[in-house]
Amino acid sequence: MAKKLSYKELLSNLKGLTVRNVVPADLGWVVEAEGSSRALCPDCGVTSHSRHSRYWRKLRDLPMQGASVTLKVQMGRWRCRSRQCLRQIFTERVDGVLLPHSQQTNRLSEVHWLVGRALGGRSGQRLLKRLGMPSSRHTLLRQVIKAASGSVWQPAIRVVGVYDWAWRKGQSFGTILVDLERSEVVDLLPTRSAKVLGEWLAQRPEVKVVSRDRQGVYAEGVRAGAPKARQVADRFHLTLNLRQAVERELALRRSFLRFTPQSTPVVPSGGGRETENKGRQISIQSSVQQQHAEVARLRRQQKLELFQTIQRMKSAGMTVSQIARHLGINRRRIDRWVRLDTLPERNRMEPRPGMVERQSAKRLVCSVSDRKMRR
């Protein structure tokens, strides 16, 4: 026979509290509990059995089945009977469950801190609302700041990343320092200067490796504050420099990167249709690319017919102004075309950084659109 799980066993990790009842509410569940029958004085540590009064505290707790939980606890005020203690009345403490003046349990505060540290304010607020633990973005950020300021001990920083960040975009910049072994931000410097960075590194002689960008200011600061530390370039700027170098090289060799639609694979021959399939080819272009090629061909044909018309009108003795008025097109184009014997090719845009990536992305979008159309 299966054992039934009671709500007292389900909430047994609320040490120091006794769960009395669990009732449904409009927005979730309400867990009613009460404190202990005795309490320790926070000043002298003497146990008191003399109750002064009772009061209620409402705290938010972890959700239950996706619904929010409110912990309604009846706490006590106690009298300290020690003659050496200056405190006469104190409130009950429940260590490990809740803190004085707190509006939520410690375990819920820990979850809020983890989410706020990982996602930030607004994103964490949206996620916690969906999980049944609603909280404002200001509360999340306040808990992250409180946890960071409350930690006095910090482990030794051996590998530090130095990067710049903008107080105001394009105008004023600061410096962010990251412990790359723990992936945690350790400090923020108000300016981007070699002097401030050198002073910060001089206070931490345990730094062995400094990962930085190509800023010469940071190089001077590292040499001044940690002359024995090894300076390395960070992965982001290495990748960025590699991409820029590849783009510059491909821009110079762009004529060799053009695709030729005629270079298509030949259909393999098979069975009795060897003669029929001989020499047949399969186009590797998608339908979207074929449409673009057809539009370009028609546009070229129209321009060719217009060019031939202008040449015939020029041969008939008409001036450039008369041709422009008759055809209703720009005089500058006519003046340029009457001096040519053949229609010039389309002017292609000069390659710029990033053009190769955008062309590859465009081809990928075309192929995906073609697959959706076939389905």
Same domain for 144 and 37?
A: yes
Radius of gyration in angstroms for the set of CA atoms belonging to the chain, rounded to a whole number? 38
- Is the Cβ–Cβ distance between 191 and 174 less than 8 Å? yes
Which secondary-structure segment (H or E) carries 150?
A: helix 137-150
What's the pLDDT score for residue 209? 92
To which residue do tokens 């996620």 refer?
Answer: 127
Same domain for 42 and 165?
A: no
Same domain for 35 and 122?
A: yes
What's the pLDDT score for residue 357? 52
What's the pLDDT score for residue 210? 92
What's the pLDDT score for residue 277? 47
> Is 261 inside a domain boundary?
no
> Is 87 inside a domain boundary?
yes
Same domain for 134 and 19?
A: yes
> Is 320 inside a domain boundary?
yes
> Is 324 inside a domain boundary?
yes
Same domain for 141 and 166?
A: no
What's the pLDDT score for residue 274? 45
Q: If you write DSSP's letter for every residue of 33-67 in order, what string do you get?
A: EE--S-EE-TTT--EE--EEEEEEEEEEEEEETTE
> Is 123 inside a domain boundary?
yes
Same domain for 136 and 18?
A: yes
Which token pair is 177? 């320092």
Same domain for 97 and 205?
A: no
Phi, psi of 9, rounded to the nearest 5 degrees: -70, -30
Q: If you write DSSP's letter for every residue of 190-251 in order, what string do you get?
A: SS--HHHHHHHHHT-TT--EEEE-S-HHHHHHHHHH-TTSEEEE-HHHHHHHHHHHHHHHHH
The pLDDT tens digits along the chain (375 residues) read: 445 545 555 566 677 788 888 888 887 888 888 888 888 888 888 888 888 888 888 888 888 877 888 888 888 888 898 888 888 888 888 877 888 888 888 888 889 888 988 888 899 999 998 888 888 989 898 888 877 766 545 678 899 999 888 888 878 889 999 998 888 888 888 888 899 999 999 998 899 999 988 778 899 999 999 999 999 988 888 888 888 888 888 777 766 665 544 444 444 554 444 444 444 444 455 666 777 788 888 888 888 888 989 888 988 888 888 888 888 888 888 888 888 888 877 665 555 555 555 555 555 555 555 555 555
Same domain for 33 and 114?
A: yes
Rounded distance between C-alpha atoms, residue 63 and residue 65, angstroms? 7
- Is the Cβ–Cβ distance between 187 and 200 less than 8 Å? yes
Total domains in the fold of the chain = 3
Which token pair is 234? 């960070």
Give residue 6's identity as a one-letter amino acid code. S
> Is 1 inside a domain boundary?
no
Same domain for 37 and 65?
A: yes
Same domain for 144 and 166?
A: no
To which residue do tokens 């260590």 refer?
Answer: 95
What's the pLDDT score for residue 1? 41
Question: What residue numbers bound the domain in which 173 lies?
Answer: 159-233
What's the pLDDT score for residue 264? 45
> Is 257 inside a domain boundary?
no
Same domain for 219 and 290?
A: no
